[in-house]
Each structure stands twice: as C-alpha cells, then as structure tokens.
Structure 1
Amino acid sequence: MPHDCSTPTAQAGVYPFDARGVAKRFRHAAIFGALEALHPGETMRFCNDHDPLPLLAQIQHRYGPYFRATYISRAVGQVIIDFLAVGEETPQ
C-alpha cells in the first residue's frame, strides 16, 4: 500500500515533514531546523518530489552519525525517507 504524505498517520515519535509544500529557497533551512528539533529515538518522515542526494550529503557532513536515513519509498514524485535521531544530543 503506497504512503500518502498529504494524509499523515499519527505514530508515536514519527513526525511528518512534506518538503513539497516548502518554497525551494527555504527547504534546507527548514529541514535542518526540523532535524535539530528531534530528540533521540524520534523520527522525521520526510517526503519530497525527488531523491535529495545533495541534501543527504549535507546532512551527513553537518550531523555525522546523529541521524540514520532509511528510504521508505523511492517512487517518482514521492520519495519518502525516515530520519531517525540517534545518539545523545544533536549538534547544532
């Protein structure tokens, strides 16, 4: 069953973030802010219209091992990635 980011399901500790509705010039700043708001064990379920490979590289460079990215879907127009906050504290 495909996931529809426009109708998020409530799961404890999983917070939806649909980047498709954020203006492109604000996206990365908004994403970094959302990631930094997560507590260890919480997940940001990220939806986008394309595979954000440059963003993933920036997240790895900026935060190192503090986030684990897992693809839920790589469907065209609906890429879904879970970012799990791991570790004790996220560097800002």
Structure 2
Amino acid sequence: MNHAIHACDRPTAEALYPFDARGVAKRFRHAAIFGALESLMPGETMRFCNDHDPLPLLGQMQQRYGDKVDIQYVQREPGAIVIDFTVVG
C-alpha cells in the first residue's frame, strides 16, 4: 500500500499545533476538533491532518465560527489532506 506523506509529519513553528484526526475515532472527531480550536489563542494555528477532505466539517466550522477562523489548505491530495485553522484576533 502506498501511503502519502502528510505535511503533519514535518516539524512545525511555535504557534502551530498539529492535530492528526487519523488517530481519533470517527464518532469523537468533530467534538475533539472544536475543543482544540476553542483552546487556541488569537494568532495560533491548528494544523489539521486527515485522510479525506472534511467538507462537512468545514461547513460546520463556517457556521460556528464565521470569519473568526481562517481556513487554508496546506496539502490537498487523495489520502493526504492538511489544513491550517488559524484563530483570527
């Protein structure tokens, strides 16, 4: 099996916190992600890693946080999705 290399496997900057959803049970993922986001201070970033594009999650985040969280794809390949969620001050 060919595994894609995730950007989460690389070192991160000080205010960038990795969150690897691949290891979280599906039924707990959204609650864990929202909890992690709500623990960030303005200017901090959570680097989210997953094996699929989380479009339903992104829709929920947009409804919940609006423009208070900036969403930027770092990597968007089949099997290797990495998104930076930055809390806007």
* TM above 0.5: yes
Q: Is the 8 A contact 2:6 2:49 kept in 1?
A: no
Q: CA RMSD in A?
A: 1.3
Q: Percent identity?
A: 65
Q: Is the 8 A contact 1:8 1:16 kept in 2?
A: no
For residues 10 and 44 of structure 2, what CA distance do their matches in structure 1 show?
16
- TM-score norm. by structure 2 comes to 0.89
Q: 1:72 offset after TM fit, Å?
A: 0.5
Higher relative contact order (CA 8 A, sep 6+): 2
User: Which ranges of 4 or more aligned residues in structure 1 deviate by more than 4 Å?
Assistant: none
The number of aligned residues is 85
Q: 1:10 offset after TM fit, Å?
A: 3.4
Aligned to 1:32: 34
- TM-score norm. by structure 1 comes to 0.86
Consecutive unaligned residues of structure 2, counting only runs of 5 or more, are none
For residues 12 and 44 of structure 2, what CA distance do their matches in structure 1 show?
13
Aligned to 1:47: 49
Aligned to 2:20: 18
Q: 1:9 offset after TM fit, Å?
A: 1.0
Q: Deviations over 1:9-66 (max 9, x none)?
A: 1311000000000000000000000000010000000001101011000001011111
